[in-house]
């Protein structure tokens, strides 16, 4: 029970927080997600791309650990029996060879990209892959639009957003947001903190400009 709670609670809380934060800071994408009508046969597809991209750029689990049961070679390195090997989802997801412009939050990259399951592995890969993967994808795709339909989440300009990272990576401390009635008037605000090391957020002036052009 403890494993299930630990494995499921922090990961999904971190993933949902990052996803909502990314949507709040990408007004165009948030607007498109909201505009998808429930009866739209394509509904879910943009949302699925948003969730996949969020789990890529800000993966809630940043590394997994293995112990080698026998001597072997890995990428040219000799691995002795008993060696502890750390594989990082975060590092792999930020390799430009797998994901061009890796720091860009670009859900539409999933329209063209089909990375190997060992290059995109928010839920791990192989025999010990997460047993909650499908459940979590469903949860994000139900919870994010349910929240978005009711509320416009607005961060306060100048808020510091840092990662806290152990095995899971979430927002350090708390993330103060204002819950406003959903009026579709999405707008990003300038943030500080090491979030900028991980994801290239659009400049606030850029998003305001693009939204104005869209409205016209
Ligand atoms: C965004 C949400 C989640 C992420 C990113 C995530 C990620 C992961 C990763 C990377 C692993 C592999 C660990 C390894 O290879 O050593 C894993 C394993 C596991 N996860 Fe998740 N997880 C999530 C949600 C959940 C949920 C909701 C549950 C339960 C309902 C869950 C239960 C488990 C269990 C039991 C394992 C161990 C599987 C095994 O060792 O055979 N996870 N998870």
pLDDT band for position 94 (50/70/90)?
A: very high
Beta-carbon contacts of residue 160 (< 8 Å; ≥ 6 apart): 191, 192, 193
CA of 108 from ligand 1 middle (Å) equals 26
Mutate to test the pocket of ligand 1, among 2, 4, 130, 134 (most ligand atoms within 8 A of CB): 130
This prediction has a pTM of: 0.91
CA of 66 from ligand 1 middle (Å) equals 15
Give the per-residue pLDDT at 166. 84
CA of 186 from ligand 1 middle (Å) equals 33
Distance CA 189, CA 83 (A): 46
Percent of the chain scored above 90 by pLDDT? 81
Distance CA 33, CA 47 (A): 6
- For residue 56, give the CATH number of its domain: 1.10.630.10
Ligand 1 proximity of 15 Cβ (cutoff 6 Å): yes
Mean pLDDT of 146-155: 94
- Can you name the residues that pair with 153 across neighbouring β-strands? 179
Distance CA 148, CA 184 (A): 9
Between residues 91 and 36, which one has the greater pLDDT?
91
Mutate to test the pocket of ligand 1, among 129, 132, 168 (most ligand atoms within 8 A of CB): 132
- Does residue 204 carry a pLDDT above 80? no
- Does residue 42 carry a pLDDT above 70? no
Instruction: Output Rg (C-alpha) for the chain, integer angstroms.
Output: 18
Domain count, the chain: 1
> What is the domain range of residue 123?
2-215
Between residues 143 and 204, which one has the greater pLDDT?
143
Beta-carbon contacts of residue 51 (< 8 Å; ≥ 6 apart): 15, 19, 137, 140, 141, 144
pLDDT band for position 209 (50/70/90)?
A: very low
154-170 pLDDT per residue, tens: 999 999 999 998 889 99
53-84 pLDDT per residue, tens: 999 999 999 999 999 999 999 989 999 999 99
């Amino acid at each position: 029970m403890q494993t299930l709670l630990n494995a499921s609670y922090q990961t999904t809380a971190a993933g949902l927080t990052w996803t909502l934060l990314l949507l709040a800071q990408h007004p165009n994408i948030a607007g498109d997600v909201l505009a998808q009508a429930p009866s739209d046969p394509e509904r879910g597809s943009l949302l699925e791309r948003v969730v996949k991209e969020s789990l890529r750029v800000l993966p809630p689990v940043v590394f997994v650990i293995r112990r080698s049961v026998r001597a072997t070679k890995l990428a040219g390195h000799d691995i002795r029996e008993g060696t502890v090997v750390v594989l990082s989802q975060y590092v792999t997801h930020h390799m430009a060879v797998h994901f061009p412009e890796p720091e860009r939050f670009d859900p539409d990259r999933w329209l063209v990209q089909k990375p190997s399951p060992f290059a995109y592995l928010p839920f791990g890969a192989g025999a010990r892959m997460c047993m909650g993967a499908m459940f979590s994808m469903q949860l994000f795709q139900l919870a994010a639009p349910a929240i978005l339909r009711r509320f416009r989440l607005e961060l306060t300009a100048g808020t510091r957003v840092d990662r806290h990272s152990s095995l899971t990576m979430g927002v350090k401390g708390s993330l103060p947001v204002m819950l406003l009635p959903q009026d579709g008037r999405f707008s990003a605000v300038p943030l500080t903190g090491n979030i900028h090391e991980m994801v290239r957020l659009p400049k606030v002036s850029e998003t305001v400009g693009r939204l104005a052009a869209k409205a016209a």
